[in-house]
Protein backbone atom coordinates (compact mmCIF):
# COMPACT_ATOMS: atom_id res chain seq x y z
CA UNK A 1 0.00 0.00 0.00
CA UNK A 2 1.04 3.60 -0.56
CA UNK A 3 2.30 5.82 2.26
CA UNK A 4 -0.17 8.28 3.77
CA UNK A 5 0.25 11.64 5.52
CA UNK A 6 -2.36 12.37 8.18
CA UNK A 7 -2.65 16.02 9.18
CA UNK A 8 -3.87 16.53 12.73
CA UNK A 9 -3.10 14.36 15.78
CA UNK A 10 -6.42 14.77 17.53
CA UNK A 11 -8.69 11.81 18.18
CA UNK A 12 -9.68 11.41 14.53
CA UNK A 13 -6.20 11.84 13.04
CA UNK A 14 -4.53 9.67 15.67
CA UNK A 15 -7.16 6.92 15.29
CA UNK A 16 -6.87 7.01 11.51
CA UNK A 17 -3.07 6.84 11.67
CA UNK A 18 -3.23 3.94 14.14
CA UNK A 19 -5.69 1.91 12.05
CA UNK A 20 -3.74 2.49 8.83
CA UNK A 21 -0.44 1.53 10.47
CA UNK A 22 -2.05 -1.59 11.93
CA UNK A 23 -2.93 -2.56 8.34
CA UNK A 24 0.65 -2.13 7.17
CA UNK A 25 0.31 1.31 5.60
CA UNK A 26 3.26 3.67 6.05
CA UNK A 27 1.93 6.70 7.96
CA UNK A 28 3.37 10.10 8.78
CA UNK A 29 1.30 11.97 11.39
CA UNK A 30 1.68 15.78 11.43
CA UNK A 31 0.32 18.27 13.93
CA UNK A 32 0.99 21.92 14.76
CA UNK A 33 1.10 21.16 18.50
CA UNK A 34 3.93 19.49 20.42
CA UNK A 35 1.82 16.49 21.45
CA UNK A 36 -1.39 14.76 20.30
CA UNK A 37 -4.85 15.93 21.30
CA UNK A 38 -3.87 19.49 22.17
CA UNK A 39 -6.26 21.28 19.80
CA UNK A 40 -9.96 20.68 19.29
CA UNK A 41 -9.85 17.20 20.84
CA UNK A 42 -8.37 18.50 24.08
CA UNK A 43 -11.12 21.12 24.40
CA UNK A 44 -14.01 18.88 23.35
CA UNK A 45 -17.03 17.63 25.28
CA UNK A 46 -15.20 14.34 25.80
CA UNK A 47 -17.50 11.38 25.27
CA UNK A 48 -14.79 9.04 26.45
CA UNK A 49 -14.05 10.67 29.76
CA UNK A 50 -17.29 12.55 30.36
CA UNK A 51 -19.59 11.41 33.14
CA UNK A 52 -23.21 12.14 33.95
CA UNK A 53 -25.17 14.70 32.02
CA UNK A 54 -27.96 14.32 29.52
CA UNK A 55 -27.40 11.87 26.65
CA UNK A 56 -30.03 12.73 23.99
CA UNK A 57 -31.60 10.42 21.41
CA UNK A 58 -29.73 7.14 21.79
CA UNK A 59 -26.41 8.74 22.70
CA UNK A 60 -26.15 6.72 25.92
CA UNK A 61 -26.22 3.46 23.94
CA UNK A 62 -23.78 4.83 21.37
CA UNK A 63 -21.44 5.88 24.18
CA UNK A 64 -21.21 2.26 25.35
CA UNK A 65 -19.92 1.26 21.89
CA UNK A 66 -17.46 4.16 21.94
CA UNK A 67 -16.16 3.13 25.36
CA UNK A 68 -15.78 -0.50 24.24
CA UNK A 69 -13.67 0.63 21.26
CA UNK A 70 -11.64 2.92 23.51
CA UNK A 71 -10.88 0.03 25.88
CA UNK A 72 -9.97 -2.25 22.95
CA UNK A 73 -7.60 0.34 21.53
CA UNK A 74 -6.07 1.05 24.94
CA UNK A 75 -5.28 -2.65 25.27
CA UNK A 76 -3.67 -2.73 21.82
CA UNK A 77 -1.54 0.33 22.52
CA UNK A 78 -0.24 -1.11 25.80
CA UNK A 79 1.05 -4.30 24.13
Q: State residue 43's pLDDT score.
A: 67
Q: 28 has which bridge partners?
A: 5
Tens-digit pLDDT profile for residues 42-76: 666 555 555 556 666 777 778 778 778 878 887 88
Dmax (CA) of the chain: 43
Mean pLDDT value of segment 30-52? 71
Over 90: is that where the pLDDT of 10 sits? no
Q: State residue 63's pLDDT score.
A: 76
Q: State residue 20's pLDDT score.
A: 94
* Nearest alpha carbon to residue 13 among 3, 28, 2, 25: 28
Q: State residue 75's pLDDT score.
A: 83
Amino acid sequence: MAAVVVVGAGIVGAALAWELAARGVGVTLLDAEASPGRGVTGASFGWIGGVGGHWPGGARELREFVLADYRRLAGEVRR
